[in-house]
Structure formats: C-alpha cells, structure tokens
Amino acid sequence: MLLHLSTWTEIERYLKSNRGIVMPIGSTEQHGPNGLIGTDAITAEVVARGIGEATGAVVAPTISVGMAQHHLAFKGSMALRPTTLIAVIRDYVESLAVHGFDRFFFVNGHGGNVATTTAAFSEIYSASSFGAAGNRPPIKCVLRNWYDAPGIRALSKELYGDQEGSHATPSEVSLTWHAYPERAMPMKMDPPVAPKGTFTDAADYRRNFPDGRIGSNPGLSSAEHGKRIYETAVRELSEDYRNWVAS
C-alpha cells in the first residue's frame, strides 16, 4: 500500500488497526561505469515496496537524496548536508506522527545515510523527552540496511566472493537491473576489481577512485542475480518488520 497512491480515507482506515509504516531512504549519486545514479534510492524503494506487499504495511514516498557529498566530483550526483537530511527525516516522521503513525521502519540503501539517520532519530526522541511532543504516543524508529540482511550477506558472498566491494557493488547493481531490466549495462571492468581505501571530500574521493567504484566488480552483475537478491531481502526484512512492529 503506497502512501502517495492512497486516499486520505484509506489511510484513516489503515490507522484504525495499524500504526507501522515503511520508510525507504537512499541516495542519488554515481555508481561506477555501469551503475545507475539512482541505485541507492531504487534499491531501497524496490525492497520497501516488496515489504509493503508482503505485510500489508503502508510504504512512504522514498527519501531519494541522501548524505553523499563525497560523490559530488562525479556528474549527476546530488547530496544533502547532514543537518538538512536530519531536518527532512524529522519532518517526514513528525508529520506522519500527527496522523497516528508511531512505528517507522526505515529501509536504507546508502551507507552514507547511517550516521545522519540515527542522529535524526535522536533528535526525534529528544523532542519527546523534552516535552515538545505533548500527549502524542511514543514514536519508535529503526534503521535497516537492506544490504546488511544476513541472507543478503551470504548470497553476495556466494555470487561474488571478495569482489563485492563496498560501493557500486554487483549486488546493488544487479538489484537495479532486476527492477529496470531495460537499463542493464553489462560490461567488463578495468581493472576487474576496483581499489579499496578511504576518502574525505569529493575531490579526494575522485582522486582515489577515478571510476567511482570501491573494491567492487559490478561487471559480475546480472538481472537474474538481482531477482534472487530482491526475493531474499524482501523475505528477511518482511519478517523483521512484522516482529519489530509487534514487539
């Protein structure tokens, strides 16, 4: 059940028996030579919608631009400052809480969002602790990185071994190709596996990783792999959602 494709009366009926909502969050940033710029938002959204279909949960509109300043040396990348993203997350949650939602299950597709999203949760909880929330029911938020699900880790190891890497990975690229097979761009990487390392700002990132990849070989990607990854992520996170909302 997608929030933006629902009527207000449908949401009102939903809230009579359900208070949970799935919140996809990702990023709009480069993903190497054959990865879509929207990869992190696409993967979070696809998995979140799958969870919604499996559990009957409402799925919120995707927060599709994240904390990605380090990618800005690559054309097309977009970013929010950490303070901006904190404000966006807080406003998303608190506006929905006005209507009665109180369990917010964030499905994340971008590692750079983790620290900022958890900081946003702290701001939300602080408002309640200091009394700003009034008599509103207590809000609970949780962050789940779809790529960290145990089954996904195992499947990535099976399919790609030590060529998974940490950015522009074959797992995430494959998942986008499952969602948008017409945008699949198989190609051989040069070198096959990108270097690993650290970075600071956008210029430092571009110097260290000139084609955008970090430790990965997305040349191994396929839409067939993406289907397996999708099914595994939805199965595990749907169970996680059910258990967390009920707890």
CATH code for the domain in which residue 61 is found:
3.40.50.10310
Range of the domain at 136: 3-240
CA Rg, the chain, in Å? 18
Please indicate, yes or no, if residue 245 is contained in any of the structural domains: no
Q: What is the pLDDT, as a whole number, of residue 136?
A: 62
- Residue-wise pLDDT for 23-34, tens only, equals 999 999 999 999
Residue 137 confidence (pLDDT) above 70: no
| Share above pLDDT 70 across residues of the chain, in percent, rounded to a whole number | 98
The model's pTM: 0.95
Domain assignment present for 90: yes
189 in any annotated domain:
yes
What is the average pLDDT score of the chain? 96
- Half-sphere CA count of 141, side-chain side, radius 13 A: 25
The CA-atom distances, in angstroms, between 50 and each of 1, 22, 65, 153, 238 are 10, 10, 21, 19, 8
Residue 186, CA distances (Å) to 44, 145, 178, 220, 223 in order: 22, 26, 13, 8, 10
Q: Measuring CA to CA, which residue among 171, 208, 214, 172 is closest to residue 193?
A: 214
Q: Is residue 97 part of a domain?
A: yes
**Domain-embedded: residue 144:** yes
Position 96 in a domain = yes
Model confidence over 80-136: pLDDT tens digits? 999 999 999 999 999 999 999 999 999 999 999 999 999 999 999 998 888 765 556
- Count CA atoms closer than 13 A to 39's CA, side-chain side: 28
Asked whether residue 171 is domain-assigned, the answer is yes
Which whole number is the average pLDDT over 203-220? 98
Confidence (pLDDT) at 128: 81
pLDDT of residue 133: 57
Q: How many domains does the chain have?
A: 1
